[in-house]
Structure 1
Amino acid sequence: MAEINRSPLATLPVVVLSGTSAQRGQQHGRMFATRISHVITKMKERYSPVSLNRARENANISWNILQNRAPEISEEIAGIASGANCDCIDIYCYIGFEFFDAHAESGCSGLAITTTRGAVLGQNWDAAPEMHSDLVFFLHVGGKGLDLAMVASVGTLGWVGVNRSGVGLLTNDVMLDKSTSGIPSQVVRRLLLAESNVSSAVETLKQLPVMGGAQLFVR
């Protein structure tokens, strides 16, 4: 069952998701159903019918890849859609901004500092200011305790985070030439954070059909 903590000391709402991947997705979708429906509507208004249809075609192809490559993530996405009473491919298009033709005008940056006590990671997010209200700090809890801590926009898989093994991931969005084939960067982030160490995450990254558009930084 999902829980939310709006402590005055926290800058973001903290939401605890538990259970299977599908259950976590459903909890996420139900809790933010109104807002997710709103952002999906805005997404459809932002693009022309031609661009939206093309994005959905790209997303359907990618969805088949995802179901084979990472069924748990596809189940989580389907759960978000079910919980929010939205179309699954619409949610996947919202997660995968790379499916659209538009190019981002700017990107984010990240840094890491190694100390004697470990690494300190920092991130800035060069998104539109109004998008801040959609950010949530999600804690994914499984049978062994905390699996994943992720900052995500509602209705998505996440931007930056750290897993139970201490592997952290930032988004160093130096915008690159884009590709609409493969799997979007938010899916890649979650697959990297499924690994227990940086070396394994890097090897996984090399093997994935990553859509162009962003660079990821694992520490």
Structure 2
Amino acid sequence: MFHHKSLLLMPAALAVVLCGLAAWAEPPAEFLNKQVTMVANPPVKLVDQEGAGRLYEVGPLTVLVMEGPPREMGFQHGRLLAKKIHHIIKEGYMVKALWGRGYTPEYVNAQSERMQKHFPPSIIEELNGMVEGLKAAGVDDISYEDVRLGITQAEILHFPPNAPPACSNFAVWGRWTTDGRLLHARNLDWSIEGDAQDDAAVLIWRPEGGHPFMMLGWAGGVGSVSGMNAKGITLGEMTLPSGDATFDGLPLFLQMRM
């Protein structure tokens, strides 16, 4: 079963490598002449499973495959990536990006509530399923509000609107690639000091009645800023803050997923 989905991972591997390299303000000497290569057939190891959900190690990547209705996919996510979700929320990126910068839970939750008014019901179901999956894995100190931050934190961190543009994409095809295929890569302009990379994951959804798709993100995220669907359509976000922006709308991570 996984063999067919592995087609989704080839551009992902390239993008992850590029994100890691570009996160350094001054690349270490050993990276200056490093050539990026695509691994078409990395070793695949099944690590765990929950219902129709599967957790794999694909080379150096953590790959989660979720399948079914929204609440079941959320449960699979929470149960199979419980340790990483707990780390990113309680010790890693969320702590450093939000609480370490002086944001308060009151402010963050108030803005998240404004955005949640625009969530599709299926996303709320998926988030509730994730909390249930975390509890099934023995993680009891993460709430719905905590996992909701996986969707809303980007808007909060990119406000006020005088921040500089961020992130980059490029695509090459035709005579610029060895076999003519289109290759799309995206640089995530987040500092590695935030440690989001510690809980990075390739997330693959196979929704009941919908089209399979994948996103490059991190444990606990139900959306992200880079991805591809089973038809080979890719997307990558670039941020340009605007003075017209408010918190009263659909968060970026969900816009990209939709």
Show the counterpart of 2:130: 80
Q: TM-score, normalised by structure 1?
A: 0.71
Helix, strand or coil for the counterpart of 1:13? strand
Q: Give the equivalent residue in structure 2 for 1:46.
A: 100
What is aligned with 2:200?
135
What is the aligned partner in structure 2 of residue 160 from structure 1?
226
Looking at structure 2, the residues matched to 120 and 176 of structure 1 have their Cα atoms a distance apart, in angstroms, of 30
Given the two structures, how large is their TM-score scaled by the length of structure 2?
0.62
Deviation at 1:176, TM superposition (A): 4.2
Q: 1:172: which partner in 2?
A: 238
SS of the aligned residue for 1:83 comes to helix
1-structure distance, mates of 2:150, 2:203? 18
Shift in Å, 1:142: 4.2
Which of 49, 52, 65 matches 2:118? 65
Determine the structure 2 residue equivalent to 1:205.
none
Is structure 2 residue 249 aligned with structure 1 residue 190? no
Query: In structure 2, the residue corresponding to 1:132 is in which secondary structure?
Result: helix
Q: 1:96 Cα shift?
A: 1.0
The answer as to whether partners of 1:60 and 1:89 remain within 8 angstroms in 2 is no
Residue 44 (structure 2) aligns with: none
CA-to-aligned-CA distance 1:1-48 (integer Å, 9 cap, x gap):
3212213xx331122111111111111111222332233234364354
Q: Point out 4+ residue stretches in structure 1 off by more than 4 angstroms.
A: 100-106, 142-146, 175-178
User: What is the rounded CA distance, in whole Å, between the counterparts of 2:150 and 2:100 in structure 1?
Assistant: 12
* Structure 1 residues 166 and 185: alpha-carbon distance in aligned structure 2, compared to 1, 3 A threshold: same
Q: 1:125-149 CA deviation, whole Å, 9 max, x = no partner? A: 2223232121111222245796112
Indicate whether 1:91 and 2:181 are aligned. Answer: no
Shift in Å at residue 183 of structure 1? Answer: 1.9
Q: Which has the higher contact order (CA 8 A, sep 6+)?
A: 2
**Cα shift readout 1:57-102 (whole Å, capped 9, x = no counterpart):** 1212322321xxx222222222223322422122112321113576
- Alpha-carbon RMSD: 2.8
Which of 8, 12, 28 is the aligned partner of 2:77?
28
The answer (yes or no) to whether the contact 2:61–2:202 under 8 Å persists in 1 is yes
Letter in 1 for 2:256: R
Tell whether the 8 Å contact from 1:14 to 1:139 is kept in structure 2 after alignment: yes
For 1:12 and 1:176, locate their aligned partners in 2 and report how far apart those are by CA, in whole Å: 35
Partners of 1:83 and 1:73 lie apart in 2 by 15
Match for residue 47 of structure 2? none
Give the C-alpha shift of residue 190 in structure 1: 0.7
* Equivalence for 2:56: 5
* 2:159–2:241 Cα contact (<8 Å) kept: no
Q: Give the letter aligned to residue 118 of structure 2.
A: I
- Who wins on radius of gyration, i.e. which is larger? 2
Structure 2 contact 128–144 (Cα < 8 Å) conserved: yes
Could you tell me how far apart the structure 2 residues matched to 1:125 and 1:101 are?
Answer: 14
Contact 1:108-1:125 within 8 A present in 2 as well: yes
What is the CA-CA distance between 1:159 and the residue it aligns to? 2.6
Q: Give the Cα separation in 2 of the matches to 1:81 and 1:58.
A: 21
Letter in 2 for 1:22: R
Equivalent-residue separation in structure 2 for 1:119 and 1:146 (angstroms): 21
**Alpha-carbon shift at residue 55 of structure 1 (Å):** 1.8
Gaps of 5+ in 2: 1-50, 136-141
Q: 1:186 offset after TM fit, Å?
A: 0.5
1:107-146 mapped onto 2 (5 Å cutoff)? 107-115=166-174, 119-129=182-192, 130-142=195-207
What is the Cα deviation at residue 124 of structure 1?
1.3
Distance, in Å, in 2 between the alignment partners of 1:29 and 1:84 is 5
